[in-house]
Amino acid sequence: MRLILSVAATLVFALAAVPLSAEPREDEARGAAQARTNSALLDEAFALIQRGQPAAAIERLDRIIAYYEKAYAGEKRRIYCARSNAETLLYLLSAASEKKDAVALDSTWSDAVFGKAFALIDLRRKDEARAMLERAIELSPNNSQYAAELAEMKKNEHDWKGALELFEKAADDAALADDADQPRLKARAWRGIGYAHIELGDLDKAEEMFLKCLKLDPNDRGAQSELQYLKDLRKQQPKANAGPPSQG
């Protein structure tokens, strides 16, 4: 579902003048108040996750999710959530190309679903966490962070090809994020791609990805560590491939 944004460059300026739809069809004052409530709940939830209180975080996230599920229960259009104008444009153009009606909301709903997945991972409820991640990606198909998190899950399951595919998608989708977020998202995806290539036995491709990370940020400790690991691994390879000692 990759569209070339430059084809629709003339639409970007029009889109920039149109704010992302954040709330359902309600009067402005009530919608703004609910938006503030949801934003505060989201901030509280992620703070609780960071403090090691995932159950308390889920209680707040469920309130946000329930609000949106109720508000959009009768919605016939395809619902997307986006963090940037570029991401919004991609979704709306994709829907238009398929001759489908769509609505693009801000990312509050999908972030709540993603946050719940993160909390469920902390609670070691992996199957439920996977379902939440997949739901977040359904709402935001080209969100780099969501794809990378699902890739991490596949990495932990030693599904290297599945992880590689998702990390590559996350790297592509990083271009749709706001400029300030792109370096962090790209670096995470590239490190994931490199890690998967190591496990798949392609050390040269792995090295290429870690060097890209260092070009982006020379102080990227994760990339530095992986490059040292590659160096050590290559030193061991001749011994591993030398075979038994000669009997002559």
**Residue 103: its H or E element:** strand 102-105
Please give the pLDDT value at position 54.
97
Is pTM beyond 0.85 here? no
What pLDDT does 158 receive?
A: 97
Which tens digits make up the pLDDT trace of 32-56?
Answer: 889 999 999 999 999 999 999 999 9
Convert the pLDDT of each residue in 127-149 to its tens digit: 999 999 999 999 999 999 999 99
Q: For residues 161 and 184, is the Cβ–Cβ distance under 8 A?
A: no
- The identity of residue 146, as a single letter, is Y
CA 171/CA 186 separation, integer angstroms: 5
Quote the pLDDT of residue 220: 97
Give the helix/strand (H/E) hosting 37: helix 28-50
pLDDT per residue over 196-237, tens digit each?
999 999 999 999 999 999 999 999 999 999 999 999 999 887
Task: Please report the pLDDT score of residue 230 as a whole number.
Answer: 96
> What's the token pair of residue 9?
């460059």
Instruction: Say if residue 218 is exposed, middle or buried (CB neighbours under 10 Å; 0-12, 13-18, 19+).
Output: exposed
Domains delineated in the chain: 20-76+105-141 (1.25.40), 143-239 (1.25.40.10)
- pLDDT at res. 25: 52
Closest CA to 210 of 196, 226, 197, 198: 226
Query: What residues have CB less than 8 Å from 72, skipping those under 6 apart?
Result: 24, 79
